[in-house]
């Protein structure tokens, strides 16, 4: 599963890719950034549940890809 990110005005910035994997997207969401509040990181138990759900989602997508593309 690939999420398509369309940048403003159709321009690519630096080494940006037009498509991002689900795993890369969730890794991006979990990064800490100075001076930017990220509510996901302050969720305590909700953060843990979200992380487990996203791990299951990524692994199920990976397994589905292997099952579909196995020769």
Find the helix or strand (DSSP H, E) in which 3 lies. Answer: strand 2-4
Q: Determine the Cα–Cα distance for residues 33 and 67; give it in Å rounded to an integer.
A: 37
Name the residue with higher pLDDT: 25 or 1: 25
Q: Residue 9 corresponds to which tokens in the numbers above?
A: 């005005």
User: Are the C-beta atoms of 6 and 16 separated by less than 8 Å?
Assistant: no
- 8 CA to centre of own chain: 20
| pLDDT score at 70 | 84
Average pLDDT over residues 52-64: 92
Model confidence, pTM: 0.61
């Amino acid at each position: 599963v690939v999420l398509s990110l369309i940048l403003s005005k159709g321009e690519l910035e630096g080494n940006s890719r037009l498509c991002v994997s689900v795993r890369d997207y969730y890794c991006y969401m979990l990064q800490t950034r100075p001076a930017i509040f990220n509510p996901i990181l302050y969720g305590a138990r909700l953060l843990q549940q979200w992380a487990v759900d996203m791990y299951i989602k990524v692994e199920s997508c990976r397994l589905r890809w292997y099952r579909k593309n196995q020769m």
